[in-house]
Amino acid sequence: MFVERTKVRVYFSLFGDTFPLDYVTEKLGITPSNTYTKGDIITHLPITLARKETAWVLDTGYQESLDVNDQLQQVITQLRKKAFIINEIKMNYSVECKIFIVAEIEEGDTPAIYLDRDVIRFASIIEAEFDIDLYAYPYEESNDVLFE
pLDDT, one tens digit per residue, over 136-145 is 987 665 555 4
pLDDT, one tens digit per residue, over 1-26 is 567 899 999 999 999 999 999 999 99
Domain ranges of the chain: 7-136
Does the reported pTM lie above 0.85?
A: yes
Q: What does each C-alpha distance from 60 to 13, 99, 135 come to in angstroms?
A: 12, 12, 17
Nearest to 120 by CA among 129, 133, 112: 129
Q: Residue 2: its pLDDT value, please? A: 63
For 27, counting Cβ atoms within 10 Å of its Cβ (0-12 exposed, 13-18 middle, 19+ buried), the class is middle
Q: What does each C-alpha distance from 146 to 8, 21, 140, 142 come to in angstroms?
A: 31, 56, 14, 9
Q: Residue 66: its pLDDT value, please? A: 94
